Amino acid sequence: MRKRLHIATLGLHQNILVEYVITRRGADKVAIIYTDENKEYLRGLEKRLGEKQVPVISSKVQPWEYYEVLSEILEIVAEHEDYNIEYNGSCGTRIMTSALYLAALFTDSPVYFVKDPGAELKGDIIKVQPVSVALLTEPKKLILQKLEECGGSVDTQRELGSRADLKASSISKHLNDLEDAGYIIRRDYGTKTRVEITNLGRIVFNLKTFRQGNIWSR
């Protein structure tokens, strides 16, 4: 199994959210993008993760230099080609989190956030898969089209695969990607799995009529 590298950006406030996601998710190695303003928190985080035998690497950036931040993140990724990459966008300036999100798009990797953490940090962790939102292949477009033609849902994955002329192994992978993007949901009914298009999926599918080049990959 490939090791997992967790890349996170630090900010001025609530950096505990970064640590919360790392603790909940776990990681084989952590990379922290930080600034002069949060280097003290970084030192404490390095110590706490070190006690858990999790190695930490860090890279200092200027918080409002977009291309510098993006370059630093992608440089780290390039140095860890044997790792699966995931990102933590819980903290940082808008520039830092934007660069992190674009890096996730480049590397086809998930980004994690904390939903409504509250005072006791019990919030759910949200996973976002940027590449699925940005590009959809023709098979995925066809799946959404068939769901729309069937009134928004199909009773089984097998039936949907048949309508889209996709093999069972192929339809499963495409549905995983679409579900990660929030375009469909699957509901189990006994031994069957019903597939439904979401409102977001319907909107994105309809966007193709006037923004085809931006939504669908070629």
Question: What confidence tens digit (pLDDT) does each residue in 197-209 have?
Answer: 998 888 878 775 4
Determine the distance from the C-alpha atom of residue 13 to the mean position of all C-alpha atoms in its chain, rounded to a whole number. Answer: 22
Residue 118 backbone dihedrals phi, psi, to 5 degrees? 70, 180
Structural domain tally of the chain?
A: 2
9 and 67 housed in the same domain: yes
26 and 124 housed in the same domain: yes
Domain boundary among 77, 112, 128: 128
**Lowest-confidence segment of 4-13, 43-52, 174-183 by average pLDDT:** 174-183
Which helix (H) or strand (E) covers residue 43, if one does? helix 39-51
Residue 21 backbone dihedrals phi, psi, to 5 degrees? -65, -40
118 and 160 housed in the same domain: no
In this prediction, residue 215 carries a pLDDT of 47
Using N-to-C axis directions, what is the helix angle for 94-107 and 66-78, rounded to 10°? 40
64 and 151 housed in the same domain: no
51 and 113 housed in the same domain: yes
In this prediction, residue 134 carries a pLDDT of 47
In this prediction, residue 191 carries a pLDDT of 85
Partners of 31 in beta bridges:
7, 57
25 and 121 housed in the same domain: yes
DSSP 150-196: TTTEES-HHHHHHHTT--HHHHHHHHHHHHHHTSEEEEEETTEEEEE
pLDDT digits (tens, 9 = 90+) for 69-126: 999 999 999 999 999 999 999 999 999 999 999 899 888 899 999 876 665 655 689 9
CA angle 39, 44, 46 (to 5 degrees): 90
19 and 41 housed in the same domain: yes
97 and 179 housed in the same domain: no
Q: How much is the mean pLDDT over the chain?
A: 88
CATH of the domain at 189: 1.10.10.10
Is the confidence at residue 216, as pLDDT, over 60?
A: no
92 and 192 housed in the same domain: no
166 and 111 housed in the same domain: no
Nearest to 185 by CA among 151, 147, 150: 147
CATH of the domain at 17: 3.40.50.10770
Q: Where in the sequence is the domain holding 141, given as residue range(s)?
A: 135-215
Nearest to 115 by CA among 126, 99, 104: 126
How far apart CA 32 and CA 53 sit, in angstroms, is 16
Q: How many alpha carbons fall within 13 Å on the CB side of residue 190?
A: 3
In this prediction, residue 214 carries a pLDDT of 47
In this prediction, residue 116 carries a pLDDT of 66
